[in-house]
Structure 1
Amino acid sequence: MGLTSNKVLVLAVLSAVLLFVGTVWWWPRLARRTWRAVGGRVGLLLATQVAVFASIGLSANQAFGFYASWADLFGQESGQGVVVDHNTGGAGGGPLQVVDTQQVNVSGGSRPQIGGQVQKVDIVGRTTHIATPAYVYLPPEYFQAQYRTRTFPAAAILTGYPGTAEALIKGLHYPQTAHEMAKNGKMQPMILVMLRPTVAPPRDTECVNVPGGPQTESFFAKDLPDAVSAHYRVGRKPGSWGIIGDSTGGYCALKLAVHHPETYAAGAGLSPYYKAPIDPTTGDLFRGDKALQNSADLWWYLRNRPAPDTSLLVTSSRAGEANYHDTLKFIELVKSKKPTRISSIILDSGGHNFNTWRREIPATLQWISGRLSDR
């Protein structure tokens, strides 16, 4: 049973309940001062606490998608996410391969013409040779006969670090939300490409072209849109692509829209920061390249480079988010940088978590839908 399995969670909760009941039941019998009685009390308390903490931890992991598997939890996942000099000319002949399909968790979701479909794909960058899994949400219209020649706008959706792509579906409910909003006429039908920015796990590359390392920015700026557009009916003209992310993914979304407005007509950062950090998870991202380091600092870039023709959205909370004051400053900076456009979602309160982002996603999807073309 996997780490995110409901059976594991139910088993942990049931164990905690049974151990609690057992502790209450056996406590009078273990009230003596013998070593055996003392050992029994310690064992029961310890087992109960372990079961309770395991239940809480599993519940939190289900809600926030911190770890996708036991191997991920225990640090056994290593760099299989990057394939150097991968041959993309194999069977199928394309940089994107569909490996599985699943229905969207909506009414009538078993039929793609009604619920749309989520496809699990493997993507290999033709220029960067970065390989990563992703999930692609296709709206119901994609499968309907009257739209068989229509192209659709697309948005890349990025998690935070370390994050899991599955969390965008199970925790943040992007496909369900997009389906419901398009059905109600609040946004146009869109293709969503859901993945994590950590394409070289366990390293956090911050969507930087690391000298001598993963060319992560180029992957998201060129290889990802090219691979998806070659396989799906995505609009080919400028303005067909947007990008959304939370936390680290939010920083990446803003940076990619600012650096590559020819690719991303709009970028939304949910609880973003505005400068790439250097810490044990990133390692030395810049290898002494000051120009590269400056470019990864959105404050520096917007003050010293020509303002890009793109639309940006940032979110924060007056209480609960550490980025609130920086976000207000960033809004003021961008307002003075025409033709760049800036919008915001500011909640009264909300922490750096899935519950907050779920409250922001509907408005974010509506915002980005209004800024993308389907042609």
Structure 2
Amino acid sequence: MGLTSIGLLVTTAVLAVAALVTTVWLWPRLSARSWRAVLGRVGVLAACQVLTLAALGLATNSYFGFYSSWSDLLGTDTATAPITIAATGLQVLSSRPVPGGRIEQVIMPGQSTRLSEEAYVFLPSAYLEHKTEHFPAIIALTGYPGDPRNLMTRLDLPGRMAKAIAEGQVKPTILVMMRPSVVLPRDTECVDVPQGPQVQSYFANDVKQDVIAHYRVASGRDSWGILGGSTGGYCALKIVMSHPEQFSAAVSLSGYFKTIIDHTTGDLFQRDKSVEQRNDLMWRLANLPAPPVNVLVTSSKKGESDYPATVRFLGAVKPPMRASSLFLPSGGHNFNTWNRELPQALPWLAQQLATPAA
């Protein structure tokens, strides 16, 4: 069974309960002081704890979407390797209707970076009905390691966009839903790694060009925005600040402002101080000309560790860059918090984007 399958989660939970019941039933028989009784007690306790921890781990992974498969968990997932050489344009794998439009599962091959990643594209009903019009687009990114399906199942971005369009809050806008981790199991933090994967360039250039070439999407910067949560929020801010010629607006949900380096990233800068500085958003604000972009950052005054850093970021923004904030009274670093922020954050981003004239 798959790592995220409901069947595996239910089976493991049932086994954990059964192990507990069995332990209670057997305990009087294992009360002797013989070595066999001692081993029996150790065995049933270990079985209870292992099964309980496994059930809790599977439930947590199912909710947060940390790993999408066993190979993803074990770091043996190489599914993207054969795709990176097929730089022949966006490939549609499947298509299905949804309320308010259609979702297409696609592969985004990078012409310049030779990277590739799966994406889900939401096409609003207006796109399907008006065959000559062009539309604005938003790239939506998960956290690390992330699963792009969480943007649909956990955050319901297509449903939220369809609702905002139907209520007249925003003009019809296309969503391109992806994860920022294009070379799993490594976390590249959307860095153009020296002599390594050019991840920032992949999202800033290749993904945008793939979408423009395949769909009726406006090419101008004023019609493109980025949204992300956690690592995806950091990526959204960094990409829009680094490439204002490509994007005009971004939303960061509980994002941070400086590259996180740990065992999942390795050496992303190759000891190049200038690369490290360019990926530090506070350094960019202090030392580089302010980009002409509009951003929205979100956090929680209680429960989010990034709140003080978010306040400092807002204080450092200078014209022509503009920054807005959405601070909840309380909320953790999770889907529940982002679901409380998205009813305002997603329409805000779509409202910043220009719809090209017919």
Structure 1 and Structure 2 fold alike (TM over 0.5)? yes
SS of the residue corresponding to residue 228 of structure 2 reads strand
C-alpha deviation, 1:249, in angstroms: 1.2
Structure 2 residue aligned with 1:100:
94
Give 1:216-365 correspondences, 5 Å limit: 216-334=199-317, 337-365=318-346
Structure 2 residue aligned with 1:118:
103
Per mean C-alpha deviation after superposition, the further-off stretch among 325-334 and 235-244 is 235-244
Q: Does 1:60 align with 2:60?
A: yes
What is the alpha-carbon distance in structure 1 between the residues aligned to residue 2 and residue 171 of structure 2? Answer: 36
**Aligned alpha-carbon RMSD (Å):** 2.0
The structure-2 alpha-carbon separation of the partners of 1:82 and 1:301, relative to structure 1 and needing over 3 Å to count, comes to farther
C-alpha deviation, 1:85, in angstroms: 7.3
Amino acid across the alignment from 2:11: L
Structure 2 residue aligned with 1:168:
151
What is the alpha-carbon distance in structure 2 between the residues aligned to residue 84 and residue 192 of structure 1? Answer: 22
Of the three residues 115, 127, 131, the one matched with 1:130 is 115
What is the alpha-carbon distance in structure 2 between the residues aligned to residue 133 and residue 77 of structure 1? Answer: 14
**Which runs of 5 or more residues in structure 1 are unaligned?**
90-94, 104-108
How many residues are paired up?
356
Q: Does 1:140 align with 2:139?
A: no
What is the alpha-carbon distance in structure 1 between the residues aligned to residue 28 and residue 170 of structure 2? Answer: 63
Tell whether the 8 Å contact from 1:82 to 1:129 is kept in structure 2 after alignment.
no
Amino acid across the alignment from 2:2: G
Tell whether the 8 Å contact from 1:62 to 1:171 is kept in structure 2 after alignment.
no
What is the alpha-carbon distance in structure 2 between the residues aligned to residue 233 and residue 151 of structure 1? Answer: 5
Structure 1 residue aligned with 2:24:
24
What is the alpha-carbon distance in structure 1 between the residues aligned to residue 308 and residue 192 of structure 2? Answer: 29
Percent identity of equivalent pairs:
49
What is the alpha-carbon distance in structure 1 between the residues aligned to residue 116 and residue 158 of structure 2? Answer: 23
Tell whether the 8 Å contact from 2:75 to 2:184 is kept in structure 1 after alignment.
no
C-alpha deviation, 1:287, in angstroms: 2.4
What is the alpha-carbon distance in structure 2 between the residues aligned to residue 293 and residue 74 of structure 1? Answer: 29
**Which runs of 5 or more residues in structure 2 are unaligned?**
none
Tell whether the 8 Å contact from 1:187 to 1:365 is kept in structure 2 after alignment.
no
C-alpha deviation, 1:65, in angstroms: 0.3
Cα displacement string for residues 163-187 of structure 1 (whole angstroms, at most 9, x for unaligned residues): 2222222223222322333333333
TM-score (structure 1 length as normaliser) = 0.88
Structure 1 residue aligned with 2:80:
81
What is the alpha-carbon distance in structure 2 between the residues aligned to residue 180 and residue 28 of structure 1? Answer: 60
Amino acid across the alignment from 1:171: R
What is the alpha-carbon distance in structure 1 between the residues aligned to residue 27 and residue 273 of structure 2? Answer: 65
TM-score (structure 2 length as normaliser) = 0.92
